[in-house]
A and B are shown apart, each in its own frame.
Chain A
Amino acid sequence: MAKMNMLHAINSALDITMAEHPQACIFGEDVGYFGGVFRATSGLQEKYGKHRVFNTPLTEQGILGFANGLAAFGAPALAEIQFADYIFPAFDQIVNESAKFRYRSGNEFNVGNLTIRTPYGGGIAGGLYHSQSPEAYFAHTPGLKLVVPRNPYQAKGLLRACIKDDNPVIFFEPKRLYRASTGEVPEGDYTIEIGKAEVVKEGKDVTLLAWGAQMEIIEQAAAKAEEAGISCEVIDLRSILPWDVETIAKSVTKTGRLIISHEAPITNGFGAEIAATIQKECFLHLESPIERVCGLDTPYPLALEKEYVPDALKVFAAIKKSVEF
């Protein structure tokens, strides 16, 4: 074990992959010698050479088109989109191509070797275009997998699982935690299963569910609730597509209450899908309506970020509302 922050953990997962497969390539804007604007790919060009770790021209559409081709050839394609806010120029390549490669060709071709890494989320005074959480757009697309880690240990194990997975995966990295979150991480290889949620803390009165950077917020809210005598079960979804209905349903059957929190705007956010499914699975066990504490239906603001975000106080207010219903 070694103490690592999330960037080190990601770097370590990439390093293992590069050593494992002679054709694995890392590419994206500024990822070469510079190591990416957040330095997630630091040192890898020196180690694996310019043919396998390289800067691309500034074109997300090009990066993903290239990645689809490389993955279709059979090489592990590790594409970085500098900020999740800039994944949209590549939307067509991801949603129409990566996601449908296998299906439309009858599995004559597939891009299972593709992994897209991209920093998402707010809390860094980044305003509209450096704070978005676009997971729900992709969650509406069959053929993709979506994964979001909450700490360095998860980041390395999940990223390795994404790379080994035989489907195109988007790995959303919570940029606010890149350096803020540190922890013990094995130096060697390991994977964490995709599609499994993790019960981070057991409790009996209400289930709190989130993913990525929002985990920290619901844990704070849970601590506040404990002080008020409310016992919270805290769950990290970890994987958005596919998502672990069973673990969530089991927990809600026990607690009778569910609060889902995500940074993205509430309307048609992924919380809506969870609420609908759990309502069906747990209808007779629910003690109160499923609550969502999410971003407002506005673009992500700058000056009024504090007001906009689903903070621990808002989650706590929802917990009280839920138990007092």
Chain B
Amino acid sequence: MTNPNNISLNISHALEFIDGHALNIPTLKILSEDGDILDGATAPELDKDTALRIYSTMRFIRLLDERMQAAQRQGRISFYMQCLGEEAAITASAAALKQEDMIMAQYREQAALHYRGFSLEQFMNQLFSNEKDLGKGRQMPVHYGSNELHYLTISSPLGTQIPQATGYAYGQKLKHIDAQSGELSSEIDNVTICYFGEGAASEGDFHAGLNMAAVHKAPVLFFARNNGYAISTPADEQFKGDGIASRGVGYGIKTIRVDGADTLAVYAATQKAREIAVTTGEPVLIESIAYRLGAHSTSDDPSGYRTKDEEAEFKSNCPVARFKAWLLKQGWLNEEEDEAQKDKIREEILAALKVAEKVQKPALEELVSDVYDTPIPALQKQYEELKEHIKQHPDAYPITAGRIK
């Protein structure tokens, strides 16, 4: 029986409450820690080229993260955030998408961006906020974005991308509307994936975004990265119940939970989720269970809130090593080549870092451009006054003074 409340009533005469933990959503795992397909599991169709591209992306991001973490310690950049421990979740999910699908990330998803083709130079230019940075040197390091690569520029306020993803995906669906009949075609060509942490899933924007997506049927893939911590706050102080996945169910969204350190499981789940979204036009939620192996950021010190033993326990479950073991067994990779590649990438990273470091900062004009499409009169006046001031005191503003006409 259906009533106007949109609930199919299932009448009971027993005074029973459903426990908050009643849902116990299973976790999809395909690959063993040693790189074998587990009994009863089915490996997704993954061709050699894609598999190797996933692997080389993970390897590159590991090396980039390692180097830039060190660069921050040396005072060469002001801030950095690694995705250590979540490389598989991020890369494999991105690999299961089409290049034109939209990515709306939180901030720890550099691997997805690299998979799309964001170059080493582009990473460096953003990290050094130089004049070649696509974001014009305005945001802190790791706030990447590229229109060409369909990767929305990162915004620091948490969760804001979640309802935006719903709106964007709705737009992707409306692209297929028939102007005459107002009907939608059954197939959609692109979807939006929206990444966020289990911490950000507490924000009001999360609830608004999921509810809107469910009610209005937007083809968005919500990808919750449950890595155990939001800065120092452990997941058990973040939410009760069965993780973020149960929230998806609560909002009426098709949901799956995956082992986030298992490249094949994440790939399979995302591929299937995408298929559901394009064929039904509806949202899907994927919860990836992994562990944030590194510090939250270079401003954080996890020794203040978790033990070395805990970290060591999770370190042994390395997503990159697990996938590598599978590739070796497939005969698609060999150790010597892999080592040689690593050395080569390390050198390239260092060289790119040295180049980007020397590129000049954005010109003064970039301070006032893009606030509006063109600076409004008040801002134009402030800019003229600032130029005059800098001209009179060039020594105090060495970054821009020499370039003011």
Question: Which positions in A face B, CB cutoff 8 Å?
Answer: 29-30, 32-35, 37, 54-55, 57-62, 85-86, 88-89, 125-130, 266-267, 296-299, 301-304, 306-308, 311, 313-314, 317
Contacts and interface: CB of A to CB of B under 8 A. Distances in A.
A267 B399 contact: no
B140 interface: yes
A322 to B, nearest CB: 15
Interface in B220-277: 230-233, 237-239
B138 interface: yes
A58 B156 contact: no
Nearest to B129: A303
A297 B382 contact: yes
Contacts of B352: none
Interface in B367-405: 367-368, 371, 376, 378-379, 382-383, 386, 389-390, 392-393, 396-397, 399-400
Contact of B364 (A29, A54, A86, A307): A307
Of the listed residues A127, A311, A314, the one surrounded by the most CB atoms of chain B closer than 10 A to its CB is: A127
B39 to A, nearest CB: 38
Given A86-B158, A303-B129, A307-B367, 10 more contacts: A29-B230, A57-B239, A58-B158, A60-B203, A88-B157, A298-B379, A301-B137, A304-B137, A304-B364, A313-B393
A298 B367 contact: yes
Given A128-B139, A296-B379, A303-B129, A34 B367 contact: no
Contacts of B389: 313-314, 317
A86 B157 contact: yes
- Which 8 residue pairs are nearest across A and B when measured between Cβ atoms? A303-B137, A129-B156, A34-B232, A57-B202, A303-B129, A58-B199, A127-B140, A58-B202
Given A296-B386, A304-B367, A55 B203 contact: no
A296 B382 contact: yes
29 contacts: A30-B230, A30-B233, A32-B233, A34-B231, A35-B304, A37-B299, A55-B237, A57-B202, A58-B230, A58-B233, A60-B203, A61-B204, A89-B203, A128-B156, A267-B378, A296-B367, A297-B376, A297-B378, A298-B368, A299-B371, A301-B137, A303-B362, A303-B366, A304-B364, A304-B399, A306-B399, A307-B390, A308-B367, A313-B396
A307 B371 contact: no
B157 to A, nearest CB: 6
B400 A58 contact: no
Contact of A297 (B138, B203, B379): B379
B140 A302 contact: yes
B203 A128 contact: no
Q: Is the interface of B mostly helix, strand, loop or mixed?
A: loop
Nearest to A57: B202
B364 A302 contact: no
Contact of A59 (B157, B203, B232, B366): B203
Contacts of B304: 34-35
Interface string B339-350: 000000000000
For B140, B361, B392, the residue with the greatest tally of chain A CB atoms inside 10 Å of its CB is B140
Nearest to B128: A303
B397 A126 contact: no
A85 B139 CA distance: 14
B203 A302 contact: no
Contacts of A55: 232-233, 237
A58 B361 contact: no
Given A33-B305, A304-B364, A306-B397, A57 B204 contact: no
B139 A304 contact: no
B104 interface: no
B78 interface: yes
B200 interface: yes
A104 B329 CA distance: 70
Contact of B203 (A34, A58, A301): A58
Contacts of A314: 389
B368 to A, nearest CB: 6
Given A296-B367, A297-B371, A303 B204 contact: no
A33 B232 contact: yes
B164 interface: no
B400 A304 contact: yes
A34 B305 contact: yes
Contacts of B239: 57
Nearest to B301: A34
B211 interface: no
A108 B145 CA distance: 50
B379 A302 contact: no
A30 B237 CA distance: 10
Contacts of B130: 303
B155 interface: yes
A311 B389 CA distance: 11
Contacts of A125: 78-79, 140
Contact of A89 (B204, B231, B305, B400): B204
Contacts of A301: 137-138, 367
A204 B139 CA distance: 42
Contacts of A62: 202, 204
A317 B400 CA distance: 19
A85 B367 CA distance: 20
A89 B200 CA distance: 12
Given A37-B299, A55-B232, A130 B305 contact: no
A229 B401 CA distance: 28
A31 to B, nearest CB: 9
Given A59-B202, A302-B129, A307 B399 contact: yes
A252 B114 CA distance: 59
A223 B367 CA distance: 29
Contacts of B231: 29-30, 34, 37
Interface string B168-180: 0000000000000
A11 to B, nearest CB: 16
Nearest to A88: B157
Nearest to B154: A129
A59 B157 CA distance: 11
A130 B299 CA distance: 13
Contact of A303 (B199, B361, B397): B361
Contacts of B392: 317
